[in-house]
Structure 1
Amino acid sequence: MGGAGLGVAGLALVPEVRLFAQQVHEFIEGPPVPDVKPEQLSPHVWMVYAKEGFPTQENQGLMASIIFAITQKGVVVLDTGASVQIGQMAIRMIKTVTPKPVIAVFNSHYHGDHWLGNQAFAETYGADLPIHALAHTRDQIAGNEGNLWRSLMERWTNQATLGTKVVAPNKVVEHGQVFDYGDVQIKLHHYGRAHTPSDLCFEIVQDKLTYVGDIAMANRIANMDDGSYPGTFKFYDELKKAAGDQLWLPGHGRGSKDLLDTYGTFMKGIWEPCVRAVKEGIPIDGAKTLVLSDPRVASRAKTMDGFDSNIGKYTSLAYLEAEKEAF
């Protein structure tokens, strides 16, 4: 039976029409992302830097940095960006500093700005390219979360990321594993829920540099929808104890040796007033007043990306978690 008389809604149910729509979607791609010259951070580690902020049409979703290590055995990439176009740009940039192929990819967590570029690497270096992640991260990307992030990124960038497909990690890793790439060893760290339930940090042992993904940020208020405030502080303590003195490199912003301390101070400026409010029976609106007047928070209010639009929400999440902790 043909599609005549079915109308738009009816046509959408015809298998041939659905297949055609899918093929058109996959054929059309958003524009290329302009090149960003890589910066060398240490003897082995380079960064394709993304300015802090949030995904927009103007930045085409480029708001999380791509990190890569050039090793004796090849290039290892830590997070691949928010689209196939960003991944393609990162590959072009890697080729400007080394002829070595990419031999492995690691995804720090399941938020799409850190892994939607996987597609570009799999298409360039083969479907068998190892893409590593914790099991929970792999499962989230392979499930509904993966397509949700793909759709959100298209919407936020006004279709600039169109053509991006979900390519989930194909290798499951665990806390404490050490990957040996000849002259470089990469040690994996996971200490429970922080930014998400499955954050993975990567210690480049020889360089005393650790890429921390989104558990800390330089000057951007973090998404805590899936996270935990006390879990974050525990993660920081365990990570510092295990890795020692490091250059801590975030997915958003510049790295520093005191990143975990400075961002932890800001986070405690949200958490501790909420704990006090719960103990003293102060309602949530009062907790927000306490947070905004805390000097650890107030000192960053005018300069932190996303502060005004997010501080209320993440104070509410802290208050709810403090209530749960109290009972």
Structure 2
Amino acid sequence: MSPFTPLSRRRWLLGAAAVGATAAAEWLPGAPLATLARAADGFKDFFEGSPVKDYPLRRISERVWMVWTPDGFPTPENQGMMSNVVFVVTRDGVVVLDSGSSLQIGQMAIRRIKTVTDKPVIAVVNSHYHGDHWLGNHAFRDAFGESLPIYALPACIDEIAGVQGNLWRSLLERWTHGATLGTQVVVPNRPVAHGQELRFGDTTLRLHHYGVAHTPCDLSVEVVEDGVTYVGDVAMHRRIANMDDGSYLGTFRYFDALEKNTKSQVWVPGHGDAGPNLLRENRELFEGIYRPCEQAVKDGVALEQAKALVLADPRVKKYAAVTQGFESNIGKYTSLAYLEAEKEAF
């Protein structure tokens, strides 16, 4: 058991790296600056988290692949590997759709990509500002250059450049007991907009954003030629999407818009398995949570009783046993649904 809290540990490690730089100068008097920098980097590298094991690859379509994880939540054991890293192999190169939770996970994803193609990564797209989807940017920037385009909605860029960036880096370090140490906040550098199309040789990526769903700035990416859409965390398979920053009603509207405005036959989530029924199943579970709360508000039923109504709903019963974290999270998500229903009612 480490004697350090995550925050004190990080401060100690940063201090140690600074001491390392000073020590290098003392041990190598008169050495060139480049030599001193390499010596200091040695201390930094010593304190980076360990490499992440290779995770399985799944082919979704002709162009689309996924580095898949069975885990939906970060732990010291999985080193933060809790979300899928999706990539599209185009004629011009590889486009990554969400880069993972850390430097180490991004490095692992690069290894896995290289088993599929020798083409370089030419772009990254970040779906939203939760760190398990973009902290891996660090690895791709290091491997493919400072000028690597990293696309995101402007509001997402602002969040990562602001509070969310360092907050999520610290959270992943804490949740994994330091396994993600060494990861830097690499902010997306290319703002994009709803309806914009990115062309990469033989492949068209059409970008979709329909308001608040999982967060206020969710970006879904349609791989037009393959009939596949990466939805990020707007929908998850066998996991309830975190709705702290989101909206149940907004999610229903988002699903409606995706189904209307794409020709996709396969939906790819940030968490869980891809498939044709992802939106339908996610909608069914969310309707089972939200609609009883909506009715409870209309009937003047208190929140405490609303939870019992949610648990009794057939739609919720259908998915309870197969949804990760259901028991520990259903109370929270019921509360959020009830609060949203109250807001809508008044």
Instruction: Give the TM-score normalised by the residue count of structure 2.
Output: 0.88
Which residue in the other structure is 2:81 paired with? 62
Q: CA deviation at 1:40?
A: 1.6
Contact 1:224 1:314 in 2 (8 A): yes
| Distance in 2, Cα, partners of 1:37 & 1:302 | 25
Which residue in the other structure is 1:222 paired with? 241
Structure 2 matches for 1:109-188, cutoff 5 A? 109-188=128-207
Q: CA deviation at 1:253?
A: 0.6
Letter in 2 for 1:195: H
3-state secondary structure, aligned to 2:242: coil
Please, which runs of 5 or more residues in structure 2 have no aligned partner? Answer: 1-7, 22-39
Cα 1:158–1:17 change in 2 (3 A) is: closer
* Residues 287-312 of structure 1: CA deviation (Å, up to 9, x unaligned): 11110110111122122101011100
Q: Tell me whether 1:99 sits opposite 2:118 in the alignment.
A: yes
Which residue in the other structure is 1:292 paired with? 311
Please, which runs of 5 or more residues in structure 1 have no aligned partner? Answer: 1-8
Q: CA deviation at 1:52?
A: 3.2
Q: CA deviation at 1:38?
A: 2.1
Q: CA deviation at 1:120?
A: 0.2
Q: CA deviation at 1:246?
A: 2.0
Letter in 2 for 1:39: R
Q: Tell me whether 1:283 sits opposite 2:302 in the alignment.
A: yes
Contact 2:56 2:69 in 1 (8 A): no
Cα 1:21–1:252 change in 2 (3 A) is: farther
Which residue in the other structure is 2:64 paired with? 45
Q: Tell me whether 1:311 sits opposite 2:330 in the alignment.
A: yes
* Residues 153-209 of structure 1: CA deviation (Å, up to 9, x unaligned): 011011111111100100000000011111110000000000000000000000000
| Distance in 1, Cα, partners of 2:162 & 2:215 | 16
Letter in 1 for 2:341: A
* Larger deviation, residues 315-324 vs 24-33: 24-33
Cα 1:18–1:162 change in 2 (3 A) is: closer
Which residue in the other structure is 1:247 paired with? 266
Cα 1:130–1:248 change in 2 (3 A) is: same
**What value does the CA root-mean-square deviation take over the aligned residues?**
1.9
Q: CA deviation at 1:87?
A: 0.1
Q: Tell me whether 1:301 sits opposite 2:323 in the alignment.
A: no
* Residues 21-60 of structure 1: CA deviation (Å, up to 9, x unaligned): 9976675111100112422211111111111320001111
Contact 2:64 2:89 in 1 (8 A): yes
Which residue in the other structure is 1:190 paired with? 209
3-state secondary structure, aligned to 1:47: strand
Letter in 2 for 1:323: E
Contact 1:76 1:105 in 2 (8 A): yes
3-state secondary structure, aligned to 1:299: helix
Cα 1:21–1:165 change in 2 (3 A) is: farther
Q: CA deviation at 1:71?
A: 0.4
Which residue in the other structure is 1:321 paired with? 340
Q: Matched residue pairs, number?
A: 315
For 2:99, which of 64, 67, 80 is the aligned residue? 80
Cα 1:285–1:25 change in 2 (3 A) is: farther
Q: CA deviation at 1:259?
A: 0.8
Letter in 2 for 1:243: T
Cα 1:16–1:90 change in 2 (3 A) is: closer
Letter in 2 for 1:59: N
* Residues 76-128 of structure 1: CA deviation (Å, up to 9, x unaligned): 00000000000000001111111100000000000000000000000000011
| Distance in 1, Cα, partners of 2:148 & 2:93 | 12
Contact 1:201 1:213 in 2 (8 A): yes
Letter in 1 for 2:125: F
Contact 1:61 1:153 in 2 (8 A): yes
* Larger deviation, residues 297-306 vs 314-323: 297-306
Q: CA deviation at 1:144?
A: 1.3
- Percent identical: 58
Contact 1:213 1:251 in 2 (8 A): yes
Instruction: Give the TM-score normalised by the residue count of structure 1.
Output: 0.93
Contact 2:60 2:274 in 1 (8 A): no
Contact 1:25 1:162 in 2 (8 A): no
Q: CA deviation at 1:244?
A: 2.9
Q: CA deviation at 1:321?
A: 0.6
Letter in 2 for 1:303: V
3-state secondary structure, aligned to 2:73: coil
Cα 1:46–1:320 change in 2 (3 A) is: same
Contact 1:27 1:163 in 2 (8 A): no
Contact 2:17 2:44 in 1 (8 A): no
* Residues 116-155 of structure 1: CA deviation (Å, up to 9, x unaligned): 0000000000011000000111111111111010000011
Letter in 1 for 2:313: D
